Chains A and B, each alone.
Chain A
């Protein structure tokens, strides 16, 4: 999936990927897509939850071995 920005959260655990996503999204423009790289499995449930709560759009997950790529679009 194509993204405007990438946030590397490899090696970080809850809640840091979510905290960093929220910080990064604040700098982005509406309509832009953020790709978050993570390896803490919790993100697969947490990112859709974060998107639902904040009104941003959760686009999907791509898994490549232990690496998880999560995509969210800024509302």
Chain B
């Protein structure tokens, strides 16, 4: 594959503020006509998971991890000043006041703009997550080689 005008973002973190930054860059890149790939791995899987609390096929530690760090865009905490949800509520209220899109809206917008959502299968195994645990926007379940191929073909690479 030849070099192309693309942006590849590794979303490693599962916090609201970091996810917002990742999606702002993704949506801007797509608006600038660039191909954007988002590779969700480790805690970042929470950003695009449905946030179900069902045990499913999870082992006890996997289930406990999911209960303590619930996935789903609307459940994410802030990386700082979350204050058991108080800081998060304040941040969401400020964003609304300044007409900034919510994380959920940014995710839909990214999809409308053709951003590719890839989930890391190794992290999924570690956390006991299956394809059905993710929102519909995620349509590719891949490994590090896929990320590296995409990243090496582009000029912009971020790890958030």
Contact = CB atoms under 8 A, between A and B. Distances in A.
Contacts, number: 37
Given A15-B24, A15-B27, A22 B32 contact: yes
Given A53-B33, A53-B34, A54-B33, A15 B99 contact: no
Contacts of B28: 14-15, 18-19
B101 A16 contact: yes
A interface, size bucket: 10 to 19
Nearest to A49: B32
Contact of B31 (A11, A12, A13, A15): A15
B32 A12 contact: no
A58 interface: no
Q: Main SS of the interface on chain A?
A: helix
Interface string B26-47: 0110111110000000000000
B90 interface: no
A12 B99 contact: yes
Interface of B: 24, 27-28, 30-34, 98-101, 109, 113
Interface of A: 11-16, 18-19, 21-23, 49-50, 53-54
